[in-house]
Structure 1
Amino acid sequence: MMQFELTKDFLETLNLAVEVNNESKVLELIDGLQSADIAEIIDEQTLEEAIAFYQFFSQEQAADILIELDEGARERILNSLSSEEIAKQFIDNMDSDDAADVLAEMSDEKKNEVISHLEDFEQASDIVDLLSYEEDTAGGLMAKELFKVDINWDIKTCINELRIQSQDIEQVYTVYVVDDKNILQGIVSLKRLLLTPDNKKIKDIYNDNIISVKANVKDEEVGNIMDKYDLVVVPVVDEIGRLLGRITIDDVVEVIKEEAEKDYQMASGISENVESSDSVWLLTRARLPWLFIGLFGGILGARVIGNYEHELQLHPEMAIFIPLIAAMAGNVGVQSSAIVVQGLANNSLGLDGLWSKLLKELGVALINGVVLSSLIFGYCFFFEASTALSLTVSIALLSVIIFAALFGTIVPLLLNKYKVDPALATGPFITTVNDIFGLFLYFLIGHLMYL
């Protein structure tokens, strides 16, 4: 099946069919579309159009589509419904992890109202349990729906039990083996269960080599574990090893995507998670803080230049290379910090200590600095015909590259050590600091050279 591409003509045709309640035309247009495709359509509709469109789906389909919607579109639809309608039409038809994610976006009052309307007490209990975990932990990611068997059961009992459990579970990832206290012992594959004689015990065929995570582990670490061991699903246990739930790869992919978007926005100087469709006020609020920092940095840079106003009057040729020094300082710092942040994100930095990382970055900076400084020295010497200017610019550039590289390396490492998101170091902060210090070095070296 080809990937669905939403067009304006398609949307207009669909909205017209929905408006006149032409069911056959609507079903023809959406035939073969996945939940994510339908969600893309609803994201572009008005609230009235979306609510009318929803009437053409079963409750199970509507629940799947709701999960795929952008947060803003989902909020608009849920705000138009009563707590009882949300419970009956959506939450009752969701897996526990998806239901908890949707409820977590609501106010405490509405959340409690929706839960009170759930008829399945076990489902309500599972959702309340999931909501008790921090959103960015394994407990906040996991789902309660899973297949599990007792280690002391025989194969026949297990298969009968799995038939019962399958009534509430759509997909089989693996079958977990627990003891009488629900402590995770291992896993057993469906193939092994089907090929083993009925009188055999689970304890004779299960695999006890299993990787699990505790409920309080951060979601990024869960992603790293699943990536490292190439896992499609990972069980979640409590402090004493009792099986609580499972996390699937699609949940982790969503976390990785959100984290990448957040890091990209932070590196771009955006302090909140925003979309292009958000309000002007929200977009302004997300951008303005780092612009203030950039403005403050620009003022400091101007003060540095102002302090050497006399030197510029005597040697105005120095002004030509101010943009070059500032730009190179910012670029080198961002490069160094980006590599460190990437390494911290995917655990690829290894076991080397701070000093070894700084020495390595110093070596890279020296090579880059010597090459670029030699080039700018040659340019200044032949085109500007000034030995003092050539030495000033080339030495300043070498010094700036070394400082920016070391500063760009150490800042994210220190931020990570003190539990601050190191992605902060890839944004305007690192660029602004390097710009200011680069200008200071340039004029200091120029002052010494022209004495």
Structure 2
Amino acid sequence: MQFQLTDDFINQIEILIAKKDGNALRELLNEFHFADIAELLEELKSDEATYLIKLLETDLTSEALMELDEEVREKILDRMSPKEIANELEEMDTDDAADIIAELDENIQKEVIDKIKDEDHAADIVELLNYDEDTAGALMAKELVKVKETWTIAGCVREMRRQAKNVTRVHSIYVVDKEGKLKGRLSLKDLLTVSGKAHISDIYIPKVDYVTVNTDNEDVARIMQKYDLEAIPVVDENGVLVGRITIDDIVDFIKEEAEKDYQMAAGISQDVEADDSVLKLTRARLPWLMIGMMGGLGAASIISGFEAIFLTYPNLLLFVPLIQATAGNVGVQSSAIVVQGLANDTIKGNIIRRLLKESLLALINGLCIALVVLLISHFAFHTTYLESISICIALISVIILAALIGTFVPIILDKNGIDPAVATGPFITTSNDVFGILTYFLIAKLILGF
């Protein structure tokens, strides 16, 4: 049965914590899944959550810590000693432990590492901290199962049993040479069906997908998605096997990137949460709102430059919101598709061909929308024939222009190493509002001759 966190259960835990009834809490919670423990910890006060972390078994709490929201985890770690933090890190895979260490203040990072009893584990954590944050080296874990190509099957099985004790999940068995360079991988079926006297070199599969420690995280995600991999080995500049990246790490990375892109598309310039302070939320939102304001003022100045038109053709003013809204919507649609394609690495080929395709699509959409607007404007708003024609031609032009901007801008940003997600949302909406209004009045002036 799925765990349900209720108010009554939370109250029960809070009462037991207040009584310092450790035995009852251990009996109640030690059989829970670490994700359920994490859900409970996020509902408790920081001191109560810290009490539970110190009370329960570290193999449970170490996993729960990694499931917590970063701010909640930070408050708990602030209440723990370097020794207590080190105890938790000893139960974690090296990649998770490195993430925790990176969140700590620099003045206690070394102290925590010095408290880790397993020197090899500590050394592996320090190694991961030295890689650039957005590379495979920082994302990988050191825990894996590897065997040498010269071993016999019987010796291989013995060594695998020894190594597997330190690996949470054995996704793959990697084959290396005497220098530790990646040679291939082992099929579990082949391993179980051949003679124990055979050698690994006789049965291993030489073809194996891998990445280097300097491979960008987004490229790692694309490779694992393309080839449907549960894990991928990581090698250094010399081809030596140094770690592996598992699917859960990539899912976490993709989730973080999706959240960041979603916020950026909504005009939020920093990574924020709903529970963040008003000041932090203001700093994240205000820059794009200011850009939107400048765009609005720009559109207003354009309208003021055509003030004389409203005396002769007042009906044109009624369709300004339609022009702005349509331009913004078309631009956002086009940019969203392009940004998604760039993220999935599915946009290839000539930019001109992409722009021509988007222009044709925009023309078809523009003609359909213009036909509806033509009928409504003439019969509902009683516009003249020339006014209706002006509005419809301007609308088609604005839709094509907005589609081109929404397609061209993210591609150019991506080619210059800028996150194309910045091209969606307020940026595209604001720019298309300004260009849309300008196009609208220029076409009206050309047709109506004012």
Instruction: State TM-score, norm by structure 2.
Output: 0.96
Q: Deviations over 1:108-145 (max 9, x none)?
A: 22222211222211111111111111121111110001
Match of 1:345 in 2: 343
C-alpha distance 264-231 of structure 1, shift in aligned 2 (>3 A): same
C-alpha deviation, 1:155, in angstroms: 1.3
Code of the residue aligned with 1:244 in structure 2: it is V
The residue aligned with 2:179 is 181
Contact kept, 8 Å, 2:136 with 2:214, in 1: the verdict is yes
What is the rounded CA distance, in whole Å, between the counterparts of 1:5 and 1:99 in structure 2?
29
**1:30 CA displacement:** 4.1
Who is 1:272 aligned against?
270
- 1:267-308 CA distance string (max 9 Å, x none): 011111111111111111111111111111111111111111
Find the counterpart in structure 2 of residue 428 from structure 1. Answer: 426
Structure 2 counterparts to residues 30-69 of structure 1, below 5 A: 30=29, 33-69=32-68
1: CA distance between counterparts of 2:58 and 2:31? 18
Aligned length in residues: 448
* C-alpha distance 295-9 of structure 1, shift in aligned 2 (>3 A): farther
Partner of 1:293 in structure 2?
Answer: 291
**Structure 1 residues without counterparts, runs of 5 or longer:** none
Q: Which residue of 2 aligns with 1:209?
A: 207
AA aligned to 2:260 is K
**Alignment-derived partner of residue 373 in structure 1:** 370
Distance of aligned partners of 1:135 and 1:5 in 2 relative to their CA distance in 1, 3 Å threshold: farther
Q: Pick closer, same or farther for the CA change 1:223–1:392 going to 2, 3 Å.
A: same
Residues 375, 79 of structure 1: alpha-carbon distance in 2 compared, 3 angstrom cutoff: same
Which whole-Å CA distance do the structure 2 matches of 1:83 and 1:40 have between them?
Answer: 24
Q: Which amino acid aligns with 1:364?
A: L
Aligned AA (1:107): D
**AA partner of residue 59 (structure 1):** T
The answer to whether the 8 A contact 1:149-1:177 is kept is yes
CA contact (8 A) 1:14 1:29 kept: no
C-alpha separation between the residues in 1 aligned to 2:371 and 2:396? 9
Matched residue SS, 1:168? coil
What is the aligned partner in structure 1 of residue 90 from structure 2? Answer: 92
Work out the CA distance in 2 between the residues paired with 1:265 and 1:369: 29
Q: Trace 1:31-430 onto structure 2 (pairs within 5 A).
A: 33-88=32-87, 90-349=88-347, 351-385=348-382, 386-430=384-428
SS in 1 for 2:346: coil
Structure 2 residues without counterparts, runs of 5 or longer:
none
The question of whether the paired residues in 1 share the 8 Å contact of 2:30 and 2:56 is answered with no
AA paired with 2:325? A
Q: Note the aligned Cα RMSD (angstroms).
A: 1.6
- Structure 1 residues 265 and 356, CA gap change in structure 2 (3 angstroms): same
CA distance in 1, matches of 2:91, 2:277: 32
* AA partner of residue 360 (structure 2): G
> How far apart, CA to CA, are the structure 2 residues paired with 1:28 and 1:376?
69
The 2-side partners of 1:79 and 1:433 are apart by 45
Partner of 1:21: 20
| TM superposition score normalised by structure 1 | 0.96
Q: Which amino acid aligns with 2:363?
A: L
Whichever residue aligns with residue 376 of structure 1, its letter is V
Identity within the alignment, %? 48
Structure 1 distance, partners of 2:400, 2:4, is 48
Q: Distance in 2 between matches of 1:278 and 1:383?
A: 48
Q: Could you give the per-residue CA deviations for residues 59-95 of structure 1, whole angstroms, max 9, x where no partner exists?
A: 111111111111001111111122222112x111111
Q: In the TM superposition, what whole-angstrom CA distance separates every residue of 1:144-168 from its partner, at most 9, and x where no partner exists?
A: 0111111001112112212221232
Contact kept in structure 1, 2:299 and 2:434, CA below 8 Å: yes
Contact 2:144–2:243 under 8 Å retained in 1: yes
Residue pair 1:271, 1:289 contacting (<8 A) in 2 also: yes
User: What amino acid is the match of 1:8?
Assistant: D
Stretch of structure 1 that moved more, 70-79 or 115-124: 115-124
Question: Is the 8 Å Cα contact of residues 210 and 233 (structure 2) preserved in structure 1?
Answer: yes
CA distance in 1 between counterparts of 2:281 and 2:10 reads 27
Work out the CA distance in 1 between the residues paired with 2:144 and 2:18: 41
